[in-house]
Structure 1
Amino acid sequence: CECELKDWFMWFMRTQICIMTWPRLGSSTVGNQSRWDIPVPYERSVNLSKNSKGVIPRAFEQFRLKSCVDFKPGQQKSFTSLWRVVKGTCWSYIGRSSPGGQTLSIGERCGRKGIVEHQFLHALGLNHDENVFTTQESPYDYYSVMHLDKNAFKNFNGPTIITKSPELQDVIGQLMEMSEYDAIELNKLYKCNSSVSFLDHCSFDEESLCEMSVSSAAGYGWQREKSVSGINVTDHTYLGKEQNGTSFFMHFSTERRNEGDAARLESKTLTPTRDCKVQCLQFYYYHSGHESDPLNIWIRELQNQADSTGALRLMDQITETPGNYWKLHHVQLNANKSFQVVFEARKGAGNSNGGFSLDDINISETECPLIWQIRDIEKELNSGFRELYSPLYYSSDGYRFGARLLESRNQLTISLSLVSGACDEQLQWPCPWRQITVQILDQNPHIQKRMSFEQSVTTDPDLTRYASRDLCTK
């Protein structure tokens, strides 16, 4: 075991063996009879807080992104999982314990995505991670959302769990979201071969280019590169990490090209399966060309299996002053049928010494977030800045808002404010019962392996100011 448990805490666990089944290998504990049928029906208690009612669907989306486990609202006569609020507590049975349904409690202070995931993973059959033995297939996971923290069940005599690696003492017990190995355990338990909402990922490390195709009118186009001479650009996937020698990205050079020269990079055909026909395209790009060079993002929607050309629709265009660094970009798609994503780089009117680079493309059947990317945040922190202001955004229902990042006493605080917008006369005021979620994005190149910190706040018309100490981060 990779954690040393204090004697009294070991005694506590041993007393539980009589009433709970503890695993011997891996963190899953249930057999076939204790697994749920998929999708899992659920019913939310009317007493559940409004904030938790918004957080729970966000947790569901992580299960759909990282596994084949899905959920559907159920009726009293057929539900197999019931959300019922128990004030001040968060708990769940482990696995399917009752054929007629069972309670899963999300208390008043449990309305965080990581806590909801933790309890629902219990209900699906996973136990606490510190109770497992390390195997070659399942290494000890300090980052598991199922791991208790160092002070679990403390009696004020110091930590109850001590990691053998001291630098990981403050890592255990994270409540951001399920880890990569949590998802592996869940997929193994439910025999998943795919996920509900994940469509594709490509880092271009394989020569197959993830079945993407390249085309250009003049015989040149997107090239698979490790680096580009004359431009300070290398692979994004292993940015800041030790590279394994097989990391690549795609690059289209606009240097010494004629205005209008273009090349396309087309994804394989993807087929939406969810009822809500929305998809999010995420990718990293590096613009080293001229500000007049555009990067167009199209989708080619195919009408049927015999249709090989489809209809192209322009979804977004990037034209900006070159940044000479990797930037994350999101494009909301709305394909109703099978489709391809097409990246078209084009030479503009100005002189160029670079071009466009692409890496780490992810496509999922989810909504895209609004992104505030702060360049060189460590440099900003070291410079002693007091506050930074985001661009202004519109919510999906028309409210305009902005964010402020404040540094004070070695803490970072994010605050959000509504501002006047174009739709104000048609909106409901004072913006009642709207939930906003602030997320510090884990920029793992693979969307299914991300562990992002987030906190949600729901507006109450009887209050004028909202605060959450969990939004303050050292």
Structure 2
Amino acid sequence: MAWIRSTCILFFTLLFAHIAAVPIKYLPEENVHDADFGEQKDISEINLAAGLDLFQGDILLQKSRNGLRDPNTRWTFPIPYILADNLGLNAKGAILYAFEMFRLKSCVDFKPYEGESSYIIFQQFDGCWSEVGDQHVGQNISIGQGCAYKAIIEHEILHALGFYHEQSRTDRDDYVNIWWDQILSGYQHNFDTYDDSLITDLNTPYDYESLMHYQPFSFNKNASVPTITAKIPEFNSIIGQRLDFSAIDLERLNRMYNCNDKNIICSHNSHSFGPLYF
């Protein structure tokens, strides 16, 4: 029996030594929860390729445009949701990860649908788009081909929560230049501004870092010429970032929904955390 015991010890020692010697490759943490591992395109580029011409590029208008100002379009939490069967497994994972980021950084919460009249159904249609505010019926968020990235999903959920794009603010011309002659014909309306009857900045400054800002080359005729640039040139590489919420995005969200510190687990830097739903 002693020789059998010695043989087993030797076998497992060699096995563990072999395992320790095998290199293990890890995906970068920021990519783990994104479904598309190729080059990430922005929303306007995806929707143009899909032949879509929506309000502000990715907003589906069913009723009123007044999603941000009208208190009747505010959601009651948790928001019921459905993940449609036509979504891929990785897309569903990216959506669930986006939910966790909202939970960590705001009082926004989500729950599986149980027959409520107001709910969001995530489906794979053409392009990335959403409606603005609670429509009090079942409403879609499209997570089409190329849209299944955490920050793009966060962007579309922010529309559903009541937010428009940053550069549609009335004061935007103080902060960015719009190069109208470089915009695709028929798409100039995506660069219109709107007064306080439609949108509000919730008493926050213009935010070059907002997840809701257009990228410099949105709706452009020439691939190498921008349609929107920052008046502070250092921000040209920042506008249109698709990494995560900015600090001001979160401030506005928490003001709109009267979130308080007790509801918020982590600061806006918590995007470095890994998955929380495994």
TM-score range, shorter chain: 0.5 to 0.7
| 1:163 counterpart (230, 251, 268) | 230
Matched residue of 1:41: which SS?
A: strand
Separation (CA, whole Å) in 1 of partners of 2:242 and 2:133: 20
Superposition CA RMSD, Å: 2.9
1:78-101 CA distances to partner (integer Å, 9 max, x unpaired)?
4511111114x110011112x221
2:268 to 435, 438, 449: 449
Q: 1:138 to 1:165 in 2, by over 3 A?
A: same
**Cα distance, 1:46 vs structure 2:** 0.8
Residues 21-420 of structure 1 mapped to structure 2, 5 A cutoff? 21=65, 29-76=68-115, 78-87=117-126, 89-97=127-135, 99-133=136-170, 137-156=203-222, 158-194=225-261, 196=263, 198=265
Contact preservation (8 Å) 1:49, 1:108: no
Query: In 1, distance between residues paired with 2:208 and 2:96?
Result: 26
Q: How far apart are residue 449 of structure 1 and its match?
A: 2.1
CA separation in 2, counterparts of 1:60 and 1:129?
22
Return the alpha-carbon distance in structure 2 between the equivalents of residues 168 and 148 of structure 1: 12
Task: Look up the SS of the partner of 1:102 in the other structure.
Answer: strand
Judge conservation of contact 1:91–1:105 (CA < 8 Å) in 2: yes
Question: Shift in Å at residue 126 of structure 1?
Answer: 0.7
Q: 1:30 to 1:105 in 2, by over 3 A?
A: farther
On the 8 A contact 2:124/2:144 being kept in 1, the answer is yes
Distance 1:81 1:191, change over 3 A: same
Percentage of matched positions with identical amino acids = 38
Q: Distance in 1 between matches of 2:89 and 2:138?
A: 23
Higher relative contact order (CA 8 A, sep 6+): 2
> Is the 2:86–2:124 Cα contact (8 Å) retained in structure 1?
yes
CA distance change for structure 1 residues 151 and 179 in 2, over 3 Å: closer, same or farther?
A: same
Q: How many residue pairs were aligned?
A: 187
1:35-79 Cα shifts (integer Å, max 9, x gaps): 111111111101111111111111111111111111101135545
- Structure having the higher Rg: 1
Q: Which residue of 2 aligns with 1:233?
A: none
Shift of 1:130: 1.0
Distance 1:77 1:450, change over 3 A: closer
| Greater percentage in helix | 2
Q: What SS is found at the alignment partner of 2:250?
A: helix
- Structure 1 residue 156: deviation in Å? 1.5
SS in 1 for 2:222: coil
Q: 1-side partners of 2:212 and 2:64: how far apart? A: 16
**CA pair 178-160 structure 1, distance change in 2 beyond 3 A:** same
- Matches of 2:114 and 2:274 in 1, distance apart? 30
Q: Which structure 2 segments of 5+ residues have no match?
A: 1-54, 172-200
Aligned mates of 2:159, 2:144 — CA distance in 1: 16
Gaps of 5+ in 1: 1-11, 23-27, 199-446, 457-474
The one-character-per-residue Cα deviations of 1:310-361 (angstroms, maximum 9, x if unpaired) are xxxxxxxxxxxxxxxxxxxxxxxxxxxxxxxxxxxxxxxxxxxxxxxxxxxx
Structure 1 pair 66–149 and aligned structure 2 pair: CA distance change class (3 A) = same
Q: Relative to 1, partners in 2 of residues 1:30 and 1:141: Cα closer, same or farther, differing over 3 Å?
A: same
CA-CA distance at 1:133 after TM superposition:
4.2
Question: Which structure has greater strand proportion?
Answer: 1
Distance in 1 (CA, whole Å) between partners of 2:76 and 2:202 is 29
Q: Per-residue deviation at 1:188? A: 1.1
Contact 2:217 2:227 in 1 (8 A): yes
- Over residues 109-164 of structure 1, what are the superposed CA-to-partner deviations in whole Å (9 max), with x where a residue is unaligned? 11111001000000000110111245794111111101110011112272111110
Instruction: Find the aligned partners of 2:150 and 2:168 in 1 and give their Cα distance.
Output: 23
* Contact 1:176–1:454 under 8 Å retained in 2: no
Residue deviations 1:176-210 (CA, integer Å, cap 9, x gap): 11111101111111111135451xxxxxxxxxxxx
In structure 1, distance between residues paired with 2:147 and 2:104 = 22
Q: Matches of 2:117 and 2:236 in 1, distance apart?
A: 43
Q: Is the 8 A contact 1:176 1:453 kept in 2?
A: no
Please state whether the residue corresponding to 2:261 is helix, strand or coil: coil
Q: Using a 3 Å threshold, how does the CA distance of structure 1 residues 197 and 61 change in structure 2: closer, same or farther?
A: farther
SS of equivalent to 2:77: coil
Partner of 2:6: none
Contact preservation (8 Å) 2:143, 2:153: yes
Contact 2:80-2:116 within 8 A present in 1 as well: no
